[in-house]
Amino acid sequence: MRAVVQRVTSASVTVDNEVVSSIGRGLLVLVGIGSDDGPSDVESIAKKILSLRMWPDIAKNTQWKANVKDITGEVLCVSQFTLMARTDKGKPDFHRAMAPESSKAMYATVLERLGAMYDASRVKDGKFGAMMSVGLENDGPVTFTLDSRKFEYSPPGPGAGTSSKQAD
């Protein structure tokens, strides 16, 4: 499971020219669900979203000290299967994304866990499967990518980055 988390002063989701959800200060979270994600991924991503320290502690004049719960912020989640796409060949390949019906249930579970771990009245969402217009005022900008499982780049192979071939 993957989440793109943005610190915002406000965010909203509009479907068919109607605002279906909006928040003030808090997090806009784009959520992608993989075909092999399960309950442990839900738990992991929810904990990471709510514990990520994205705000300063003004009183102590220090950065990266407060999470969304500490500031009593809101969370607006938007399902986004495109986060799971492979794009290495130019054309997006969505085979790693969970099928829509299963994904809808898993996404609902993410929302439930966030609400249970924080405050359900402060957790909002868009409209699953709809063509949405997402508006936001990014604060900072501060944006992080979270994965429910450990993700590491592979070490470069022999000769990586040392090509003698010129670009056309």
Give 96: exposed, middle or buried? Use CB within 10 Å, 0-12, 13-18, 19+.
Answer: middle
Strands 2-15 and 62-66, sheet pairing: unpaired
Whether the pTM exceeds 0.75: the reply is yes
| Catalytic residue annotation | 80-82
Band (153; pLDDT cuts 50, 70, 90): low
pLDDT in tens, 8-66: 999 999 999 999 999 999 999 999 999 999 999 999 999 999 999 999 988 888 999 99
145 φ, ψ to 5°? -110, 130
Amino acid 7: pLDDT: 98
Closest-CA residue to 53 (of 62, 71, 63, 66): 66
Domain borders along the chain are 2-86+94-133
CATH number assigned to the domain with residue range 2-86+94-133, chosen from the 4 options 3.20.20.70, 3.50.80.10, 1.10.760.10, 1.10.10.10 = 3.50.80.10
> Whole-number mean pLDDT of the chain?
91
